[in-house]
C-alpha cells in the first residue's frame, strides 16, 4: 500500500466510507393487492421520504404462506393483505412486529390487531348491486333475502374461495349465528344453480346487462362500473339486515418480524395511515379510509350514514377456520 500515492489512498478510503451513504434504502413489500391500488401510495411515499420500495405481488394467502415458510430468511419488510383474516392469521403465526402506539392509535381499535401487529388502512362494504330494469329483486332488504327461492337463477355471487366472501360469511355468522348463516348459504347455493363468478366486477356487469337481477359485491365495484358507464341500469342497496348493519372488511398492512429496515418500514406504515396516504386509497379505489376524519370519495355513501356490523376485524382471522368449515359443509361452489 506504501507504493500508492497518498491522494489515491485517501480517495480509496473516502469511497469506502461513502458506500453506505450511496446505497439507497429499499423496502421489499409482499402485496396481496392489485398493483394499481398499491403503486400510487408507494410512489407518494418514495417522493416524500426518498425510500424506494419493490413490490412482490400475489394472493394474500399465498404470500402469507410464503412469509411463514421463509421465516427469518425472508426479504420481506412489509406485508399487505386485501383481507383482515389473513392479517390476523399472520399475527397468530408471530410473523409481524408490534407497531408503536403513535402510529397504531391513529386507527380505531376495531380496524387493527389487538396487539398492534397490523393496521387496517382501507375498508370496503358488502353491498347489493341491483338491476333498475328488472324488478324481481326489489323485495330484498337483507343479504339473508338472497336465499329466497324467488331469486333462483337470478343471483350473482363470487366463488366461496374469495377473501371478501369468506370475511362476509364470518361477519354474518358472528352477528346472526351459525344456524341462520348455514340456511342462508344453502339457499344461495340453490339460487346460483352451480354458477358463480370469479370476480366482483363480472357480477356487476352481469346485473347491468340484465343477465342477473342482483349480486353481492364490495361497494367500490359498483362505482367503478358507473364511472365508465354512468347510464348503467344498476343501483347500490345497503342491506339493513334487521338492524345487524353492513359487513365491512379491511385491507391492511404489517411489518415483518424479520425486517432489517425497521425504521423505514415504520415510516411506511405511518405514511399509510397519514391524511395523505388515506386520501390516496380513497381516490384510487373509492374505499373507505380507516382514519377518522378522512372522507371517502364523494360518490360513495359517507361512513356514518349507515350502520356497520359491530364485528372487530381481528375476529375475521380468529374465526376463519370455523367459517371455512361451515362453507365446506354446505358445499358452496
- Give the pLDDT confidence of 82-98 residue by residue, as tens digits: 999 999 999 999 999 99
pLDDT band at 197 (very low <50, low <70, confident <90, very high): very high
Mean pLDDT on 3-31: 55
How far apart, in Å, are the Cα atoms of 221 and each of 138, 189, 191, 289? 20, 23, 22, 16
0.85 cut: is pTM over it? yes
Kindly provide the b/e burial profile for residues 143-166, where b requires at least 16 CB atoms within 10 angstroms of the residue's own CB: bbbbbbeebeebbbbbebebbbbb
- pLDDT over 70, % of the chain: 93
- Give the pLDDT confidence of 275-323 residue by residue, as tens digits: 999 999 898 889 999 999 999 999 999 998 999 999 999 999 999 999 9
**What is the grid cell recorded at 288?**
373507505
Q: Of residues 21 and 174, which shows the higher confidence score?
A: 174
Given a contact cutoff of 8 angstroms between Cβ atoms, the answer to whether 291 and 250 are in contact is no
The pLDDT score that the predictor gives to residue 240 is 78
DSSP 198: S
Mean pLDDT on 23-41: 90
* pLDDT above 60 for 47: yes
Given a contact cutoff of 8 angstroms between Cβ atoms, the answer to whether 119 and 252 are in contact is yes
The pLDDT score that the predictor gives to residue 2 is 44
In terms of C-beta density within 10 A (0-12 exposed, 13-18 middle, 19 or more buried), how is residue 24 classed?
A: exposed
Mean pLDDT on 165-192: 97
Mean pLDDT over each residue of the chain, to the nearest integer: 92
Query: Rounded CA gap, 217 and 158, in Å?
Result: 8
Parallel, antiparallel, or unpaired for β 248-255 and 119-131? antiparallel
* pLDDT above 90 for 157: yes
Q: What is the DSSP string of 88-150?
A: HHHHHTT-BPPPPHHHHTTS-GGGB-TTSS-EEEEEEEEEEEEESS--TTTT--SGGGGG-GG
Query: Rounded CA gap, 274 and 106, in Å?
Result: 8
**What is the grid cell recorded at 187?**
339457499
Domains of the chain: 13-123+250-303 (3.40.190.10), 124-247+319-330 (3.40.190.10)
Q: Which residues on neighbouring strands pair with residue 156, listed in sequence order? A: 215
**What is the grid cell recorded at 72?**
427469518
Q: Which residues on neighbouring strands pair with residue 54, listed in sequence order? A: 28
Given a contact cutoff of 8 angstroms between Cβ atoms, the answer to whether 181 and 172 are in contact is yes
In terms of C-beta density within 10 A (0-12 exposed, 13-18 middle, 19 or more buried), how is residue 242 classed?
A: exposed
The pLDDT score that the predictor gives to residue 247 is 96
The pLDDT score that the predictor gives to residue 24 is 58
How far apart, in Å, are the Cα atoms of 129 and each of 71, 137, 160, 185, 207? 42, 10, 18, 18, 7
* pLDDT above 70 for 13: no
- Give the pLDDT confidence of 293-304 residue by residue, as tens digits: 999 999 999 998
Kindly provide the b/e burial profile for residues 277-309, where b requires at least 16 CB atoms within 10 angstroms of the residue's own CB: bbbbbbebbbbbbbbeebebbeebbebeeeebb
Neighbours of 208 (CB within 10 A): 22
Neighbours of 211 (CB within 10 A): 13
3-state class (DSSP) for residue 218: strand
pLDDT band at 185 (very low <50, low <70, confident <90, very high): very high
The pLDDT score that the predictor gives to residue 266 is 98
In terms of C-beta density within 10 A (0-12 exposed, 13-18 middle, 19 or more buried), how is residue 2 classed?
A: exposed
Mean pLDDT on 227-240: 95
Amino acid at each position: 500500500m506504501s507504493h500508492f500515492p497518498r491522494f489515491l489512498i485517501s480517495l480509496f478510503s473516502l469511497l469506502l466510507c461513502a458506500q453506505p451513504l450511496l446505497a439507497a434504502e429499499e423496502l421489499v413489500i409482499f402485496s396481496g393487492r392489485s398493483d394499481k391500488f398499491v403503486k400510487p401510495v408507494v410512489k407518494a411515499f418514495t417522493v416524500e421520504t426518498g425510500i424506494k420500495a419493490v413490490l412482490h405481488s400475489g394472493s394474500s394467502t399465498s404470500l402469507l404462506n410464503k412469509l411463514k415458510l421463509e421465516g427469518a430468511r425472508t426479504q420481506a419488510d412489509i406485508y399487505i393483505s386485501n383481507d383482515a383474516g389473513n392479517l390476523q392469521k399472520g399475527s397468530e403465526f408471530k410473523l409481524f412486529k408490534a407497531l408503536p402506539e403513535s402510529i397504531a392509535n391513529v386507527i380505531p381499535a376495531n380496524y387493527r390487531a389487538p396487539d398492534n401487529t397490523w393496521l387496517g388502512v382501507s375498508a370496503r362494504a358488502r353491498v347489493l348491486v341491483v338491476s333498475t330494469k328488472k324488478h324481481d329483486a326489489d323485495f330484498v332488504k337483507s343479504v339473508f333475502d338472497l336465499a329466497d327461492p324467488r331469486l333462483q337463477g337470478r343471483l350473482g355471487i363470487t366463488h366461496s374461495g374469495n377473501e371478501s366472501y369468506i370475511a362476509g360469511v364470518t361477519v354474518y355468522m358472528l352477528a346472526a349465528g351459525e344456524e341462520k348463516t348455514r340456511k342462508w348459504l344453502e339457499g344461495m347455493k340453490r339460487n346460483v344453480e352451480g354458477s358463480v363468478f370469479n370476480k366482483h366486477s363480472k357480477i356487476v356487469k352481469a346485473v347491468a346487462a340484465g343477465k342477473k337481477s342482483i349480486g353481492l359485491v364490495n361497494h367500490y365495484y359498483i362505482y367503478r362500473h358507473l364511472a365508465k358507464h354512468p347510464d348503467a341500469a344498476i343501483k347500490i342497496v345497503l342491506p339493513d339486515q334487521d338492524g345487524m348493519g353492513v359487513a365491512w372488511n379491511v385491507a391492511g398492512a404489517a411489518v415483518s418480524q424479520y425486517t432489517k429496515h425497521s425504521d423505514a418500514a415504520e415510516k411506511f406504515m405511518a405514511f399509510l395511515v397519514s391524511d395523505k396516504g388515506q386520501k390516496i386509497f380513497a381516490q384510487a379505489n373509492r374505499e373507505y379510509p380507516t382514519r377518522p376524519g378522512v372522507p371517502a370519495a364523494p360518490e360513495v355513501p359517507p361512513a356514518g350514514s349507515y350502520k356497520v356490523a359491530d364485528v372487530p376485524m381481528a375476529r375475521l382471522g380468529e374465526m376463519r377456520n370455523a367459517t371455512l368449515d361451515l362453507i365446506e359443509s354446505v358445499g358452496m361452489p
